[in-house]
Structures are given as structure tokens and as C-alpha cells.
A and B are shown apart, each in its own frame.
Chain A
Amino acid sequence: SQQGEEDPQALSIQEGENATMNCSYKTSINNLQWYRQNSGRGLVHLILIRSNEREKHSGRLRVTLDTSKKSSSLLITASRAADTASYFCATLRNSGNTPLVFGKGTRLSVIA
């Protein structure tokens, strides 16, 4: 089963609104990463948050991590039509030498 599960599966908002996507995972992690995928393209790395960090910012992106709840959230502020994409969380387990495990993603639609 997938390590990370995004919620909601799909989200539709108006331009200018904030978008929040959540990710839950099952095992302890070294870090958690968020990626964006535009239609017909490969995934693009957005931000990485380590297990000892609680919050991280990058431009209009804000990521939080709660290791006690095994969850993370991605907030996009002042959304734009160009933010329309699928967003994936990916977790790196703390044990063993295993690579990232991706969730199924949240499809975000920003309506102009």
C-alpha cells in the first residue's frame, strides 16, 4: 500500500483563495517531500521537510509536518490559475535504504 495518502483527492478553488492539501503516512520517516505534476509532464520537486522540522516556507508555499500524527499539509496561498496541477507527497522511511514512496496525489483546479 502507498506510504503517503493525500487528501482530498480533488480540490477546486477560485483564483486568489488558499489551497490546503494533506498527506498522511504510516511509518516513521526521514523526510517528506512535495511534488507538483502539470498535465502531461513529469513531477517537479517543490519542497522537502525533514523529520525534525515542523514548518517550512518557499514563496507562496507553506509545509507543516506533525510526526506525532504522521501527517503533513501543503498550503498554497493566493492561488493562481497556473497552480492547477496534481500535487504529490513522497515519504522517505527512516529504516533501511529504501527510496521515496509517492501517494496518489491531489488534483487541484484553480478557476480564474
Chain B
Amino acid sequence: DAGVIQSPRHEVTEMGQEVTLRCKPISGHDYLFWYRQTMMRGLELLIYFNNNVPIDDSGMPEDRFSAKMPNASFSTLKIQPSEPRDSAVYFCASSLADIFNEQFFGPGTRLTVL
């Protein structure tokens, strides 16, 4: 398996633009997590899904952020409109069977909002 795949790897956009980050989890994994990492705040859990259903989105910073998982092999994180404070590295991770297990992280998307 290729591991968790994220695209794009780098995104530079201007304030106010819509940004869509994509993730393909490891096949067969039941859980998918979206994280944001910054120097100031560390690694923050934004939202996670179980069997394509959002379970907890309390970490989503505000209504500008939304996430979907239309099927078991694809998820998106959308920011609309983007702001400079959204600049961070966004990681997607997946895990097998239950949340007790180890998480497998993707390489991340480095987002820069000018």
C-alpha cells in the first residue's frame, strides 16, 4: 500500500480564495483524521471520521472550515475564504479498526495564505 496520500503537497494562495486539500487514506482503514500543525499551537485535531461519518468536528476553528468524506477512499478539507492565519501544515491520518490503534500520517500539505 502506498500509505496515506495527500494533495497538493504545497499550496500558496491569496487571502479570500477557496482552498481544497485532499486525502486518500490507507485502504481498509475505518478512521480518518485531519490535523493542523503550527509552531505556536502544535498539532491540533480538526475533525475525524469513522466509516465516512464525521464523529467530532469540535476542533474545526470556524465556519470557514468544512470537511467531507464521500466514500471510504477520499476526503477533503475546504477553507473558504482563506485567511493568512490559516497558514500551516495540514495532515491527514488514518487508522485501522478503532481509535486505540496507531495512526498513519500522510506527508502533509503546506498551506501558505498571502
Contact = CB atoms under 8 A, between A and B. Distances in A.
Interface of A: 2, 30-31, 33, 40-45, 48, 88, 92, 97-105
Interface of B: 4, 31, 33, 42-43, 45, 48, 55-56, 91, 93, 99-100, 102-108
Contact of A43 (B31, B55, B91): B91
B33 A99 contact: yes
Contacts of B103: 43, 45, 100
B33 A42 contact: no
Nearest to B9: A40
A41 B99 contact: no
Contacts of B45: 99-102
Contacts of B104: 45
Nearest to B42: A104
A42 B99 contact: no
Contacts of B42: 2, 102-105
Contacts, number: 49
B4 A42 contact: yes
Nearest to A100: B103
Nearest to B41: A104
B59 to A, nearest CB: 10
Nearest to B44: A102
Contacts of A40: 108
A41 B89 CA distance: 10
Contact of A33 (B91, B102, B106): B102
A60 B45 CA distance: 30
Most chain A beta-carbon neighbours within 10 Å: one of B93, B100, B104, B106: B100
Contact of B107 (A30, A41, A48, A104): A41
Given A45-B104, A92-B100, 6 more contacts: A2-B42, A43-B43, A43-B105, A103-B42, A104-B43, A105-B43
B100 A42 contact: no
